[in-house]
Structure 1
């Protein structure tokens, strides 16, 4: 399951950044990939839809969010946690 979550998140981020999936590195920040605030919001929506989860993210105050967007790896980890929580319900 973990691999599947990682692959889906990377695909979503790659689409937003208009990059090939292989160009999205786990240690890259969204800024490194050229994703601006609008692209971030679109990525969050796409992630929510792809995994049927609710991401605790406030676009107006991203630094106040419990959803870590500091790197691709952090986003993958946060999504994995949300997916696991949902399965636990």
Structure 2
């Protein structure tokens, strides 16, 4: 299940970065990928839709959010936690 979450998140991020998923490394930042704040918001919406979750994210001030966007791995980890929490309900 978690591998599926990782793969889908990478696919969404890669699409936003206009890259192939295989070219996205887990240690890359959004800046490395060329994703700006609008691209980030679009990615968050796509992630929410794909997993039927609500991401606690403030696009105006990402530093004040509990949702870590410092790297692809951080985003994957945060989404996996949200998906796991949703399945516990």
| TM, length-normalised to structure 1 | 0.99
Give 1 or 2: higher helix fraction: 2
> What is the alpha-carbon distance in structure 1 between the residues aligned to residue 40 and residue 2 of structure 2?
22
Residue 22 (structure 2) aligns with = 22
- Quote how far apart the aligned CAs of 1:24 are: 0.5
Shift of 1:68: 0.3
User: Are 1:63 and 2:63 matched, yes or no?
Assistant: yes
Structure 1 alignment gaps of length 5 or more: none
1:54-86: per-residue Cα shift (whole Å, max 9, x none)?
000010111000000000000000000000000
- CA RMSD for the aligned pairs? 0.4
Residue 80 of structure 2: aligned partner: 80
Count of aligned pairs between the two proteins = 89
TM-score of the two chains, using structure 2 as the length reference:
0.99
4+ residue segments displaced more than 4 Å? none
Unmatched 5+ stretches in structure 2: none
